[in-house]
Amino acid sequence: MQINKVASKSPNLTKKTVDPSLFLKYGRRIQNLGLTRYLSPYSRSYHVGSIVLSVVTGAYIVLYADFGQDNHCFVPIRNWYHRKTTEFWSLSDKEKQELSEQGKL
């Protein structure tokens, strides 16, 4: 093929519909930039997954990891978090009274 004679380092054609002269022209530009390694189609998913995994791991360490009985820098955050979750999952006195009046408690 003529493509291999013109540019020995040019990548192989992926589609037959590409004009060979344009392919070589832009292929050389990419090689000059140092971008010869093409990204995987899943690279964006890997990137998003790594960010999500990092955030979840960090939240677990801050809120649940066992650092022993001594006070550490995460104690105020944990106290606030546990107070908020307890408030969310429990009923206030007013709500308990309303439910007992309705006969649902």
67, 96: one domain: yes
Judging by beta carbons within 10 Å of its beta carbon (0-12, 13-18, 19+), is residue 101 exposed, middle or buried? exposed
Task: Tell me, yes or no, whether 95 and 71 share the same domain.
Answer: yes
Mean pLDDT (whole number) for 12-21: 69
- Do 48 and 28 belong to one domain? no
Domain count across the chain: 2
Boundaries of domain holding 22: 2-33
How many H helices and E strands in the chain? 5, 0
pLDDT tens column, 35-91: 556 677 788 899 999 999 999 999 999 999 999 989 999 999 999 999 999 999 999
